[in-house]
Structure 1
């Protein structure tokens, strides 16, 4: 539409009734949502954008597809956009992404989000884990100063699996043996006093020194003071890694000794466990995604849908 025609349209907008104005706003909402998505994607991409096929930087614009600029590489001829190679590639209904991400920030269930934005529940489920596939990697690289580490356990789940390697449980069920066993997923959470948090799944049953070397050592600053409970695995790990270590003897009733305590990480455990309960069971294979989701929400670290979208995209195309 040319400028003159648009001005005439704006002049006629004042003649609309209240119902007509409401219908017009609802009609424009998908277009506005698509504009928000494209602006967030364009604002997060690196400059210059390189070809995901050959890594070349010589390309030219090659049309617009669903509101997003597309490019063609001059070297290999491949076409690509800012979403090519990301977890969000080939997902449809981009105009509804912002509304869906807003539901994720509100921790809505799959079905509730699907009903609110008007997509199938399977689409809602697929979107959730596509968005979280990149967002779960958005964690701090290092923990410094005083860092606390502790593990929490939840019953392993094969929710949604068609082939089980054990007899099915009814409504969650319970472990066959008392205490911590190979029927429990071990979630290791490390958190420093500034609030930076790393969480991961170490495996089943109690944590071992080898698992701590694999998951915890790469994220600890060399000068860190690691504070834990009295578990022997932590003492073995810190001795082998040469890391300063202090612990509290929880079995003896010791909760705090000056700055030596694990209340910071245990508070995070409580928030995580309470938040997971609203989903009525999380499949073990998707648990890492939910850990990244909880970290994104913790203390309002990510509060806007556009922020979550950028975290989901992660790095676009980097030079090889």
Structure 2
């Protein structure tokens, strides 16, 4: 609508009656939500906007498509928008993205999430893992000071798979073997005393020193003190890499011991395990292949690190950890 026509239309707004005003507001509400999402995406991507193919930062505007400004790269000629190369590329219904971000903050299961925002349950499930794809990467660069590390285990699940490599279990079932076995997913969690946390699904069965080298060693800052239970994998790992190490013998009933003026325990990381498992119960088991997404989701919620839909959308579009 051109400016003169808009001015004439807008001048008549005060003369609308109540039902007519509600009708206008109902028509404008989705558009306002879309404008908010599009503006937020542009704000997030503008500082580092570059071509997803060649990485060149020189580009120019090249029309609109799917409600987003398109750009053409000056180097390779490729066209792209601010969602190209992100997990949210080609997702539709942008008017519902902020509402769905709030659903994730509320930790709703798939069907309840679909009912709240008015989409199909398959869409709600697909969106969940597209939104969480980069959220799980939004982690601290390093852990400092006293670093508590411990592992926890969940029964492996092939929920949703078309083919499984074992007999099906009824309602989740139980492991056929006692203790730690290849039927359990091992989740390593390390946390320093400032609350910075990293985690990893290391594989099936007992934790090994090689897995600690792969998943924990790159995240340990120099001069850290690694604290764990009496699992020999941590001792072998620390000795090999010259890391200061202390252990607490939980099996002997020792919960806390003191090393100088420092308290040695793994209570912070064990409390994190408990919060994660209690939160996970609301989803009635999750597939092992998606477990890393749920770990990232829990970390985002822990301590209200991400507390608004706008913050979550920012992280889903661009990893922002500082």
The TM-score, its normalising length taken from structure 2, stands at: 0.93
> Any idea what SS the aligned residue of 1:112 has?
helix
Residue 296 of structure 2 aligns with which residue?
A: 292
Q: Which has the higher contact order (CA 8 A, sep 6+)?
A: 1
| Residues 17 and 274 of structure 1, relative CA distance in 2, 3 Å threshold | farther
> Any idea what SS the aligned residue of 2:235 has?
helix
Contact 2:249/2:255 (CA < 8 Å) preserved in 1? Answer: yes
Query: Aligned partners of 2:48 and 2:273: how far apart in 1?
Result: 41
Residue 317 of structure 2 aligns with which residue?
A: 313
Residue 24 of structure 1 aligns with which residue?
A: 24
Contact 1:56/1:75 (CA < 8 Å) preserved in 2? Answer: yes
Give, in angstroms, the shift of residue 2 of structure 1: 4.5
Contact 1:148/1:226 (CA < 8 Å) preserved in 2? Answer: yes
Q: Which runs of 5+ in 1 are unaligned?
A: none
Query: Aligned partners of 1:194 and 1:48: how far apart in 2?
Result: 30
Contact 1:229/1:249 (CA < 8 Å) preserved in 2? Answer: yes
Query: Aligned partners of 1:286 and 1:48: how far apart in 2?
Result: 29
Query: Aligned partners of 1:278 and 1:166: how far apart in 2?
Result: 25
Query: Aligned partners of 2:278 and 2:199: how far apart in 1?
Result: 16
Give, in angstroms, the shift of residue 135 of structure 1: 0.8
Give, in angstroms, the shift of residue 128 of structure 1: 0.7
Contact 1:131/1:312 (CA < 8 Å) preserved in 2? Answer: yes
* Cα-Cα RMSD: 1.8
| Residues 219 and 16 of structure 1, relative CA distance in 2, 3 Å threshold | same
Contact 1:45/1:315 (CA < 8 Å) preserved in 2? Answer: no
User: In the TM superposition, what are the counterparts of 1:202-213 in structure 2 within 5 Å?
Assistant: 202-213=202-213
Contact 2:134/2:319 (CA < 8 Å) preserved in 1? Answer: no
> Any idea what SS the aligned residue of 1:233 has?
helix
| Residues 23 and 186 of structure 1, relative CA distance in 2, 3 Å threshold | farther
Q: Of 250, 260, 284, which residue of structure 2 is paired with 1:280?
A: 284
User: In the TM superposition, what are the counterparts of 1:106-125 in structure 2 within 5 Å?
Assistant: 106-125=106-125
Give, in angstroms, the shift of residue 315 of structure 1: 5.9
Q: Deviations over 1:213-252 (max 9, x none)?
A: 1101110111111111111111111111111111111011
Query: Aligned partners of 1:46 and 1:222: how far apart in 2?
Result: 35
| Residues 20 and 280 of structure 1, relative CA distance in 2, 3 Å threshold | farther
Q: Deviations over 1:225-284 (max 9, x none)?
A: 111111111111111111111111101101111411111111111110011000001000
> Any idea what SS the aligned residue of 2:32 has?
helix
> Any idea what SS the aligned residue of 2:179 has?
coil
Query: Aligned partners of 1:268 and 1:15: how far apart in 2?
Result: 59
Contact 1:181/1:204 (CA < 8 Å) preserved in 2? Answer: yes
Query: Aligned partners of 2:287 and 2:28: how far apart in 1?
Result: 38
> Any idea what SS the aligned residue of 1:171 has?
helix
Give, in angstroms, the shift of residue 64 of structure 1: 1.9
Contact 1:181/1:205 (CA < 8 Å) preserved in 2? Answer: yes
Q: Deviations over 1:135-169 (max 9, x none)?
A: 11001110001111111111000000010100000
Contact 1:186/1:206 (CA < 8 Å) preserved in 2? Answer: yes
Residue 35 of structure 1 aligns with which residue?
A: 35
Query: Aligned partners of 2:124 and 2:130: how far apart in 1?
Result: 10
Query: Aligned partners of 1:219 and 1:48: how far apart in 2?
Result: 26
User: In the TM superposition, what are the counterparts of 1:233-248 in structure 2 within 5 Å?
Assistant: 233-248=233-248
2:266 aligned with 1:230? no
Bigger mean CA deviation after superposition, 42-51 or 216-225: 42-51
| Residues 113 and 48 of structure 1, relative CA distance in 2, 3 Å threshold | closer
Q: Which runs of 5+ in 2 are unaligned?
A: none
Contact 2:45/2:318 (CA < 8 Å) preserved in 1? Answer: no
